């Protein structure tokens, strides 16, 4: 799909470049194609295809307080891809509106919307995309989950303009009453289009370390922004929580292998079995 969209965009851009000396139409087609391609890539990633292999960013860590463990930093690719897709959409919308108002071409507007109203909609989309890009620019979110023999640590850093909030919380295994499947903004389990989260239930969570998704008795691990397969991380946490004798596995030099996702065909087969069971 991505290749087809890119090929079509190049063909249309060349055609419009020959028709007029203006670069608005070719720029719009290229921007629109880039936005569609990047959104398609993000869709593949959210569907689980970015978890084909173990990420190199998942590494063992030696902490002075908690000993040897595995550190899982936040993925650094999601935000840049989304910003690039929005930038492509902004170029398309701005080019479509400018070309119509200047009277140099309407190829970027569908025939049924080749009107002043259609141009205004495209201009509004471009302005909205730029506004979201600026929001992403002034807002920075960072989270890291570390797993140790004695418990789980979550680090969250959120920056909005010049205001920075930092939350660091360590939960020993014996203070975790349950580990469940959560959701962020939507309802459901780890299905395509959802935002998977892992909830750690405990007796009390202090206000000073809570994030927007925490409660008095629960902290949320935002699994969808971590470079590991959510179900694999969930299974490992539940295993270490339920089987204290297995916690020494997290101190081994090859402990990162505990987070290596199963092959795709096994995951697809498990998903089909789960749907059939419902």
9 vs 110 pLDDT, higher one: 110
44 vs 262 pLDDT, higher one: 262
Measured over the CA atoms of residue 81, residue 82, residue 83 and residue 86, the dihedral's sign is: positive
Per-domain residue ranges of the chain: 1-278
pTM over 0.75: no
Kindly report, residue by residue over 81-106, the tens digit of the pLDDT.
Answer: 888 888 888 888 888 888 777 776 66
Measured over the CA atoms of residue 181, residue 184, residue 189 and residue 190, the dihedral's sign is: negative
Kindly report, residue by residue over 145-194, the tens digit of the pLDDT.
Answer: 999 999 999 999 988 887 888 899 999 999 999 999 877 654 434 444 45
Tell whether the model's pLDDT for residue 236 goes beyond 50: yes
The pLDDT > 70 percentage for the chain reads: 73
Kindly report, residue by residue over 23-64, the tens digit of the pLDDT.
Answer: 566 677 777 777 777 777 766 666 555 667 788 899 999 999
Q: Is 54 exposed, middle or buried (0-12, 13-18, 19+ CB in 10 A)?
A: middle
Tell whether the model's pLDDT for residue 3 goes beyond 60: no
* CA dihedral of residues 36, 46, 128, 33 (deg, nearest 10): -10
163 vs 22 pLDDT, higher one: 163
List, edge to edge, every strand of the sheet that includes 218-221.
176-183, 196-202, 218-221
Residues 6+ apart with CB under 8 A from 72: 57, 58, 144, 145, 146, 147, 226, 227, 228, 233, 259
């Amino acid at each position: 799909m991505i290749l087809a969209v890119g090929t079509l965009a190049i063909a249309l851009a060349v055609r419009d470049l020959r028709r007029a000396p203006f670069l608005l139409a070719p720029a719009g087609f290229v921007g629109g194609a880039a936005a569609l391609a990047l959104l398609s890539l993000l869709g593949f990633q959210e569907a689980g295809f970015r978890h084909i292999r173990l990420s190199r960013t998942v590494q063992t860590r030696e902490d002075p307080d908690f000993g040897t463990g595995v550190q899982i930093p936040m993925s650094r690719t999601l935000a840049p891809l989304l910003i690039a897709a929005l930038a492509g959409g902004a170029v398309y919308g701005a080019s479509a509106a400018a070309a119509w108002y200047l009277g140099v071409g309407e190829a970027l507007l569908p025939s049924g919307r080749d009107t002043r109203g259609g141009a205004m909609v495209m201009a509004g989309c471009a302005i909205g995309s730029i506004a979201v890009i600026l929001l992403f620019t002034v807002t920075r979110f960072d989270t890291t989950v570390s797993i140790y023999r004695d418990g789980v640590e979550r680090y969250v850093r959120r920056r909005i303009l010049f205001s920075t909030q930092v939350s660091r919380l360590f939960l020993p295994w014996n203070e975790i009453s349950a580990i469940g499947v959560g959701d962020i903004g939507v309802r459901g389990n780890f299905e395509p289009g959802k935002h998977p989260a892992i909830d750690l239930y405990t007796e009390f969570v202090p206000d000073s370390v809570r994030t927007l998704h925490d409660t008095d008795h629960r902290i949320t691990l935002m699994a969808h922004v971590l470079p590991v397969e959510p179900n694999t991380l969930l299974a490992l946490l539940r295993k270490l929580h339920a089987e204290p004798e297995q916690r020494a596995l997290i101190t081994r030099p090859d402990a990162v292998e505990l987070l290596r996702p199963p092959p795709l065909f096994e995951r697809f087969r498990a998903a089909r079995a789960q749907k059939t069971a419902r």
